[in-house]
Amino acid sequence: MAGVSFKLQVRQVREDAIVASANRLLAEKGYDAMTVDEVAADVGIAKTSLYKHFTSKEELAAAAMIRVLDQALAFLATLEARAKVSALSQLKAVARWAMQGQLAGEMPSLPAQNSALRAALMANKIYIDRLIQVSDKLGAWITAAQKSGQLNRKLPAEIVLYTMFARACDPVLGLLKSNAGYSDEQIISMLLTTCFDGLAGPTAQLTLA
């Protein structure tokens, strides 16, 4: 039994390494440019060994996306455990966490609407279950923030939710980091402002309200 347990541990460690590599390459290059050969080389194993864990590029990418959603759920749980934190503060904390992950090269890009990856994800029960859990938790905070007047009540909650998902994979972060000379904190601060406060000046915001 000890031998079997050790084998299972080794297998899990290898799978974790494969998924972590796929996650990084998805963030760096995107799904279409990433190859299974690159992932195998990055981990230091043969491609045939990788296929013993994941049977296709789509399955591997889905595992990486599920890993991110699991990390998101863990982070949301830490926010829920905090006392007397407003819904808006929780939403901003989630957006900050996602932006930090992207700037660190740890946040995969969302799949294109008609891509093979999106089709695979939509058929993956684990991915859909995790996505619904994240969406439900964020949706509850969005609704609470709108009821308290912290977010625009005129916007459908799903629009706010989709905007937050977009910020998690916003290519602007990478562009600002590589070309504009801003620090990570400056980039996150500016994009949090545009996401939650908009682009209008104080006078325009009063008029719109």
Taking the model in full, what pTM does it have?
A: 0.84
At 70-125, the pLDDT tens digits run 999 999 999 999 878 899 999 999 999 999 998 888 888 766 666 777 888 888 99
Length of the chain: 209
205 domain-assigned: no
Q: Give the count of domains, the chain.
A: 1
At 13-44, the pLDDT tens digits run 999 999 999 999 988 888 888 999 999 999 99
206 domain-assigned: no
140 domain-assigned: yes
Per-residue tokens: 22? 């796929």
43 domain-assigned: yes
CATH number at residue 158: 1.10.357.10
204 domain-assigned: no
Residue 83 has a CB neighbour count (10 Å cut-off) of 4
Provide the residue type at 73 as one letter.
L
Residue 89 is part of which domain span? 2-198
11 domain-assigned: yes
Question: In angstroms, what is the C-alpha Rg of the chain?
Answer: 19
Q: Residue-wise over 155-168: b if at least 16 C-beta within 10 A, else e?
A: eebeebbeebeebb
207 domain-assigned: no
